Amino acid sequence: MKKYNIETVYNYINGEGITDFTLEELESNTNFMIDVINVSNDKNFYDFAEEIVKTDYRFVKFIINKFKEDENLITVVADTYIENQDNKQNYIELLIIMCNLIKDKNSKNYKKYKFLLEVNHKSKRLQIELGKLKMNTEAADNLGMGFLIIYDSFNSSQIILDYYAKAIIEDIFEEYDIVLEDSLHQRFNTFEKIEKIGIKKYILDFIAVYDEMLSSYLSSHIYLLEDISKQLDKIKNNWNKYIETKERKKYNEIINKVHEYMEYEAVDYYSLNETTLLYLVATNLGIEKTLLKYDSISEEYYQGIMEEAHFLLEVSELSFNDRLNYNNIKKIILDILKDNQSSSQTPEEKTENYKKCKIIKLVKNEQRD
């Protein structure tokens, strides 16, 4: 087709006669239809484009970006392309664009594109993990989460690379069961020590443990770390409350578990009540002051219990049934304390355990009497 001029564009828009081209020729020309819509700012000219234009990805992106506030239109444009094309890269990129543009994240359209995008992502991750099974251990470890493969496959689309970079960061935390706040408190006594290293450097070094190529990509696309940076700001502000929060949760669990035991499982015909036994065990374990901090009993009541417990600190002096209950309560408390310690694995320990058996994941306190 020979080159048209701006007069042809205006004649087409105004419905005037065109002698050098047929309408079919013009409406089958992507550049011409883009010029028409740019000049007229009329979205209705989309309907006049031939299928060859509607399935031209360059035209599709142009329409979606120009009329991105019109969700009905861009959904029709995107769906028409998706239904008639099989270019994998364009397909993934279009799904990402649509998810970014649709404002209502609860809408049917958003959920549709998000689902298709997640299915594709999980499929790609599964392919990578299956491929790693055919590699030797060193090669598989060097590949990490597989961002290198993503980069090689889609390096011409920054939209896709940025999406996968953020998605794989989420995968790292999910698949390795990492709670960022827990991990930071395991490593550092104060947040200032993290700041001394450098927030961005710490994040990049952390991600490099799981995927060096991803860390390298993020170092030159630092804006992708914004979500983690916001998390770190919250962790910093909550740093001093963290230990108390974890401690409160642990001791509330002790109180509730002991109550459940005494309510439903305790050996019958005992002489010591629940509270006395609980604080007797706690005293022998050296945690009675901390327990009192999170219990609902008064200081006066506590002092009365401790006076009674003072004469019972030698467990051998307890009756047989009280001794059984004492031992069972002690086991409950020690198990809870042990669970809290064992759950405090460092990211590296979790990584090592995870490599041994890797799985791809497809999507009030009771008062005592």
pLDDT band per the 50, 70, 90 thresholds, residue 338: confident
29: helix, coil or strand? coil
Tokens of 130: 């299956």
Q: How far apart are CA 139 and CA 149, in angstroms?
A: 13
pLDDT of 344 above 60: no
Exposure letters 256-283 (e unless 16+ CB within 10 A, then b): bebbebbeeebeeebebebbbbbbbbbb
Tokens of 183: 């991990």
The per-residue pLDDT for range 263-309, each reduced to its tens digit, is 999 988 778 889 989 999 998 899 999 999 999 888 888 888 877 76
Strands (E), 101-221: none
Tokens of 124: 């790609």
Q: How far apart are CA 27 and CA 12, in angstroms?
A: 10
Q: How far apart are CA 134 and CA 145, in angstroms?
A: 15
Average pLDDT over residues 62-70: 97
What pLDDT, on a 0 to 100 scale, did the predictor assign at position 190? 92
What pLDDT, on a 0 to 100 scale, did the predictor assign at position 246? 87
What pLDDT, on a 0 to 100 scale, did the predictor assign at position 25? 95
What pLDDT, on a 0 to 100 scale, did the predictor assign at position 191? 94
Strands (E), the chain: none
Q: How far apart are CA 118 and CA 122, in angstroms?
A: 6
pLDDT of 329 above 60: yes
What pLDDT, on a 0 to 100 scale, did the predictor assign at position 303? 86
Average pLDDT over residues 192-207: 94
The per-residue pLDDT for range 150-160, each reduced to its tens digit, is 999 999 999 99
Angle between helices 108-132 and 147-154 (to 10 degrees): 120
Average pLDDT over residues 167-193: 93
What pLDDT, on a 0 to 100 scale, did the predictor assign at position 342? 54
Distance of CA 198 to the CA centre of its chain: 23
Q: What string of DSSP letters covers 329-345? A: HHHHHHHHHHHHHHT--
What pLDDT, on a 0 to 100 scale, did the predictor assign at position 366? 39
What pLDDT, on a 0 to 100 scale, did the predictor assign at position 163? 98
Among 2-6, 41-45, 116-120, 254-258, the least confident range: 2-6
What pLDDT, on a 0 to 100 scale, did the predictor assign at position 130? 95
What pLDDT, on a 0 to 100 scale, did the predictor assign at position 117? 97
Look over the chain and give the mean of its residue pLDDT values, rounded to a whole number: 89
Average pLDDT over residues 195-218: 95
What pLDDT, on a 0 to 100 scale, did the predictor assign at position 365? 39
Average pLDDT over residues 214-241: 95
pLDDT of 314 above 70: no
What global pTM score does this model have?
A: 0.74
Region for residue 122 given its phi and psi (left: phi exceeds 0; alpha: psi -120 to 50; beta: otherwise): alpha
Distance of CA 30 to the CA centre of its chain: 40
Q: How far apart are CA 284 and CA 279, in angstroms?
A: 8
Q: How far apart are CA 151 and CA 9, in angstroms?
A: 41
Q: What proportion of the chain, given as a percentage, has pLDDT over 90? A: 75
What pLDDT, on a 0 to 100 scale, did the predictor assign at position 359? 41
